């Protein structure tokens, strides 16, 4: 009796296992419009986080050990960074919205493409405003440091500004 039961169950289970192993396609292999790269809107590869990371105050706080900042100086820089973030908060929201507005699909109408070009132009203006705020805050922060710390801090801030300018030019260029 047990032997017949084992044979019957083997005859039922074996084909099922073989079929499952043989059908190599899974749901993950199937093409979906959601993840199809040709269907995705093309636009700028820019995040608000990228812009926030360009802050000279953020840099000075990160390099506090290299600059040998005192606790009072560090506290002052953190307060200034908070004020700068508050000042730039509406600009960051505008960046996020404008980056989305620059995205168009390959089959977009001329009107949509023109709207994306206008958004790109507006985005350049907003990023210029943010970098102007960063420059002013960086100069102010460097001025508050000791005479020994200022040259190294100024060098760091100037280098970050050059890198940021290059990054923004690359990301906002027409070819992207």
Q: What is the pLDDT of residues 98-109, one digit of tens each?
A: 988 888 877 778
Domain hosting 133: range is 44-171
Structural domain total, the chain: 1
Which of 145, 128, 159, 165 has the alpha carbon at shortest distance from 64? 145
Q: Is residue 150 part of a domain?
A: yes
Q: Is residue 38 part of a domain?
A: no
Q: Is residue 15 part of a domain?
A: no
Q: Is residue 63 part of a domain?
A: yes
What's residue 176's pLDDT?
45
Q: Is residue 124 part of a domain?
A: yes
Q: Is residue 93 part of a domain?
A: yes
Q: Is residue 36 part of a domain?
A: no
Q: Is residue 85 part of a domain?
A: yes
Q: What is the pLDDT of residues 29-44, one digit of tens each?
A: 666 665 555 555 566 7
Q: pTM for this structure?
A: 0.72
Q: What is the pLDDT of residues 115-138, one digit of tens each?
A: 988 999 999 999 999 999 999 999
Helix %, strand %, coil % for the chain, to 5?
75, 0, 25
Which of 54, 79, 64, 80 has the alpha carbon at shortest distance from 157? 54
């Amino acid at each position: 009796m047990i032997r017949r039961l084992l044979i019957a169950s083997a005859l039922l289970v074996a084909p099922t296992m073989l079929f499952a192993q043989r059908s190599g396609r899974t749901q993950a292999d199937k093409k979906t419009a959601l993840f199809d790269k040709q269907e995705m809107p093309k636009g700028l590869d820019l995040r608000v986080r990228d812009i926030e990371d360009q802050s000279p105050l953020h840099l000075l706080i990160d390099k506090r050990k290299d600059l040998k900042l005192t606790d009072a100086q560090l506290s002052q820089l953190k307060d200034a960074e908070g004020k700068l973030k508050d000042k730039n908060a509406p600009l960051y929201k505008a960046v996020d919205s404008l980056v989305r507005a620059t995205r168009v699909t390959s089959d977009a109408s001329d009107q949509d493409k023109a709207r994306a070009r206008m958004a790109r132009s507006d985005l350049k203006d907003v990023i210029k405003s943010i970098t102007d705020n960063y420059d002013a805050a960086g100069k102010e922060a460097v001025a508050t440091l000791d005479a020994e710390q200022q040259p190294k801090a100024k060098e760091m801030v100037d280098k970050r500004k050059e890198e940021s300018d290059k990054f923004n030019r690359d990301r906002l260029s027409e070819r992207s």
